[in-house]
Structure 1
Amino acid sequence: MAKSGAEESLPTIGVSGLRGRILRFYERFLDFIVVVLIFVMLLTLVASLVGVVWDVYETFLSFREEDAIQGLVSDVLSVFVLIELFRTFTDYLEFHRIRLRVLSEVAIVFVLRELFIGLYAHHLGPMDLIATAVLLAVLVGARVAAVKYAPQSPEKD
């Protein structure tokens, strides 16, 4: 009996009866929670975008104030972190797993955000920069390993 493309992509639970129904309910409930989280993330992303637009307006009013510009840089970089987190949730909904490649990209963006904010505010010392460089190297190495050793999809077999 041949399976359709949609049936092949879904994980099969080799359990029937009450246990199978409980596991299917659990999967549906997790999917519902992830959908709610995606909706919350979308609202957060829109609110952050509105906040960035407001900060741009305030920065133009007080262009010489360093704090306003630092706040704008921080908010713009925070939007990028939210975009990456949003992508992680949508990937989970699609693949029913969190991919290491995407998670490492989120971590890289977050560390770069903190690095840029610290450099812009002149708050990072030499040891902070070395620690951040080592952390970034580990995260990039994890991302490269995740891409190189990614599990094969059923279509490629």
Structure 2
Amino acid sequence: MFLNLPRLAFLGTVLSVLVGCASEEMPEGLPELYPVTLTVHQGGAPLSGASVQLIAADPTLSKWVTGGSTDENGEAVVMTHGKYAGAPAGKFKVTVNKTQTEGSANGNDPSVSSQVIMFDLVDAKYRVVTTTPIEVEVTAGENKLDAIEVGAAVKDAAAKL
């Protein structure tokens, strides 16, 4: 049987990448994480496609970025650094963001006018850590948190792109 050297090198590279991914080590100092699921409602209905971030009150935990995105039921499964399931135990402020764009970009053609406008769809007080009234506590074990309500729907112009 004849093996093609480039094909063998390619297979070796793929195998080493797969083995490397399977044995990825946790970051140094990562605290124990606990499963967290939370639901976001807007105007009493589930809010899908929103970004949820938990900001730790404890400064020693603040380097661990924790959050998730809501599904069609408004439910978010919280991850730390976007790839480790759960969040460390502690108290957190919660911010919720959702944006929508309207208009279209016309590529690289400078002779064609284009305008894309971005809108924030969640009240500003829920989007910023210093103004959000939402606080949660993550404890050891599984955490299915109470539904979070972010008030009535808004459509605030955020930026023109």
What TM-score comes out, normalization by structure 2 length? 0.27
- Which structure has greater strand proportion? 2
Flag the structure with higher helix content: 1
